[in-house]
Structure 1
């Protein structure tokens, strides 16, 4: 086993970029100093003038980490400069994973989040944290909107505060207030409470953090077993509560699951699936524009911001979606318009290995088609027939009114 010189990761105070005496002493013996250009410039007077190289962090981290590894293995001292706490959405985590935690030491400083909370006088032990650095999707932000009342968002040059506001407005998440804190710890420090629509076209300092605070709760609490009449739906086209509960149980959704709800109708399955896939993604796919509008309204009512709506025919509209761990098909296999559809074939192909699919069938042709398909594929599958009855008023008393029987077909991909 090769011996590696300990790598020192030093956090600088946000804004002022000051460091402790201990950090200055460590830096004075360095052979290689690594950090962003802004951090290197701020520490120039503490970096040894002779025999010390500086390596700016720009572009991919992999070659920089490899350079750090080689230098440390050669027995030279390496210091990595970070902003605030290196282990809180910082470079410390990545270096620990790549180089081994036993080969690093960390001297943290106050984090930007601590400074922001102090300026706003906000207790933050129950706050949720989201980093959008380098991300092309906002799934972590939408998940945080569901579970937290107070959220800190780390932005970047692409995912600006204005883009965060746009994402919230597109989902109908107008129940959150936004505060943008810029250049904290510097003379240019600015704290701006902003209405979401007001951020359109605004410029922000690259050094900013966004705090989102819930103003009021959703109209309907996001849980399993939401009553059918709470959902806006069309012509009784809804997966009724008893069948919905059984279907979700058969799906066996995990917290990190990516879920497709195909033929989503009013979105009741998607919305309750998002309560289970709280760190994953949920896509409600529907070809009818009116129903898509209903899904979006139901998302707004329940605060199920994690659900993405996809309008279009199937299977064409599935092409750009990430591979699913779970697929629910509540509509789209039966009926005259779907006789020649390749939906089931495409869904089976795209499902991840060891993934699970659940199909609700009312028509016998649909049941036989799906059963035969899974038999040909050699998948493990089963069928449950569910016939539920619910109370209904009659002659001043109650009677049981039968709902349509449904075949719940589940299958597991090898």
Structure 2
């Protein structure tokens, strides 16, 4: 059976194997922009009469499906077709055994070399959407997560598209202490490299295609400090721990914060997904939301809080930790919940005496998911269990008793905190076998 041969172009002459396969193909498929690139290759004149230029990638895939069994087909891809490229779509549709891939350099590789930055430990993402919204690859990260990601990574490389260009990226990270490079039309005769701050880049326009590289000397310096908060790494600039924020790092009032150890167990019980909607009801300082946002930047987090002082703390923490996937909902539950998107997970840290009504409201909006409730009193424990069971949740209860050391002279002794009941309710959740 004929193979679908995906050949990357853009930067280097074709290797002998790829060249021989191209010259032996009966049909060469490409799109308009890659056709212009391919014209520069020595092999172009030999195959120009066999080239079919399609408008979209999906037209090419449909043509391949109808013809590859009877015809030798070469498909021209950009750079490395397996780096956020057409190679993935070919493999997904036809299988690994049906295709061979002959890569060129990727535009990302070339861009990093142009600006003389290493790819080591860089986060590489694509904001490229594709022509058909219904068929687009689900992005691991979106443009809204960039501020958060810059807390974790000293270098980020971004493949852009026309809707998510350098100026839009710059506006999203406006004010960040970073350097941006826009590598415009890499590999073309009119290639250009533009360097600037987000404020400078935000006011410019750029030719497409382009690659954006963001570097942060501060995060790089902090990462090399191995762990603790360093004098030269103020918390607002520190690449935060993925898990394990301390109470004194989170803005809160009068000790009203979910204690570190309880927060850890609570988040474990939630079994959070990478994507979806998470409600934090009675969010208080927002400590649970902040920690969850760091662990799962793809989650949409609705932090519901009625108290003005606590809401101010949540806003301060959102800004402090650049957790832009948290939305503060100012109001009392259950009324404040009615217009929120249906949740996949819910944490109730405070209910204002409306626990049963809150559970009824979320149950009406939640087809499946997990609810976790933290309770201090026996009465709240009983109400939580009864309300969850009446709503069809499978209930599990844990009691967390924490003791912490405190100094007594030159020695230490353990001091107990109030025990906390953690009630978990699951509804239509598949269990791991």
- TM bucket (normalised to shorter chain) is 0.7 to 0.9
Q: Equivalent residue for 2:80? A: 85
Alignment partner, residue 283 of structure 1: 301
Secondary structure of the residue aligned to 1:118 is helix
Task: Quote the Cα distance in structure 2 between the aligned partners of 1:145 and 1:114.
Answer: 20
- The separation in 2 between residues aligned to 1:181 and 1:64, in whole angstroms, is 28
SS of corresponding position for 2:63 = helix
CA distance in 2, matches of 1:145, 1:322: 29
Instruction: Return the alpha-carbon distance in structure 1 between the equivalents of residues 301 and 35 of structure 2.
Output: 44
Q: Which position in structure 2 is the counterpart of 1:150?
A: 155
Give me the whole-angstrom Cα distance separating, in 1, the residues matched to 2:339 and 2:89. Answer: 33
Contact 1:146 1:306 in 2 (8 A): no
2:179 is the counterpart of 1:177: yes
Partner of 2:317: 298
Q: Which residue of 1 aligns with 2:420?
A: 406
- Could you tell me how far apart the structure 2 residues matched to 1:76 and 1:320 are? 53
1:68 to 64, 67, 81: 64
- Residue 107, structure 1, aligned to residue 102, structure 2: yes
Whole-Å Cα distance in 2 between the matches of residues 212 and 119 of structure 1?
14
Call closer, same or farther: CA 1:310–1:150 in 2, change over 3 Å.
same
Once the 2 structures are TM-superposed, how far is the Cα of residue 49 of structure 1 from its aligned partner? 5.1
Inter-partner Cα distance in structure 2 for 1:114 and 1:102: 27
Aligned to 2:199: 197
Inter-partner Cα distance in structure 1 for 2:342 and 2:181: 32
Give the Å deviation of 1:151.
0.9
Q: State the partner residue of 1:356.
A: 370
Question: How far has the Cα of 1:410 moved from its partner?
Answer: 0.9
How far the C-alpha of 1:357 sits from its partner, in A, is 2.1
Once residues 276 and 48 of structure 2 are traced to their aligned partners in structure 1, the CA distance between those partners, rounded to angstroms, is 52
- Which ranges of structure 2 fall in alignment gaps of 5 or more residues? 130-138, 220-233, 429-433
What are the Cα deviations for residues 120-159 of structure 1, in whole angstroms up to 9, with x where unaligned?
2222132111101126943664664354221101111111
Distance in structure 1 (CA, Å) of the matches to 2:373 and 2:293: 18
Q: Distance in 2 between matches of 1:47 and 1:344?
A: 70
Report deviation, 1:98: 0.5
> Where do 1:196-345 residues align within 5 Å?
196-217=198-219, 219=235, 221-253=240-272, 259-277=278-296, 280-281=298-299, 283-288=301-306, 291-301=310-320, 303=321, 305=323, 307-313=325-331, 314=333, 316=336, 319=339, 321=341, 323-324=343-344, 326-331=345-350, 333-335=351-353, 338=354, 341=357, 343-345=358-360
1:367 to 376, 381, 384: 381
2:10/2:38 contact within 8 Å kept: no
SS of aligned partner of 1:130 = strand
For the 8 Å contact 1:86–1:108, the answer to whether it is kept is yes
Give the CA deviation at 1:317: 5.5
- Note the aligned Cα RMSD (angstroms): 3.3
Match of 1:165 among 153, 162, 170: 170
Per the alignment, do residues 142 and 36 of structure 1 end up closer, same or farther by CA in structure 2, a change over 3 Å counting?
A: farther
Distance 2:412 2:156 in 1: 47
Output the TM-score relative to the length of structure 1: 0.82
Cα distance in 2 between the residues matched to 1:339 and 1:321: 19
Output the CA distance in 2 between the equivalents of 1:227 and 1:49. Answer: 64
8 Å contact kept, 1:389–1:402: yes
Q: How far 1:235 moved relative to its partner?
A: 3.7
CA distance in 2, matches of 1:137, 1:261: 22
Q: For 1:275 and 1:49, how far apart are their aligned partners in 2?
A: 51
What's the TM-score, normalizing by structure 2?
Answer: 0.78
Q: Secondary structure at the match of 1:216?
A: helix
SS of the residue corresponding to residue 290 of structure 2 reads helix
Does the 8 Å contact 1:334/1:365 carry over to 2?
Answer: no
CA contact (8 A) 1:329 1:360 kept: yes
Describe the shift of the 1:267–1:96 C-alpha distance in structure 2 as closer, same or farther (beyond 3 A): same
**Is residue 51 of structure 2 the alignment partner of residue 56 of structure 1?**
no
What is the rounded CA distance, in whole Å, between the counterparts of 2:47 and 2:192 in structure 1? 35
Offset at 1:22? 5.0
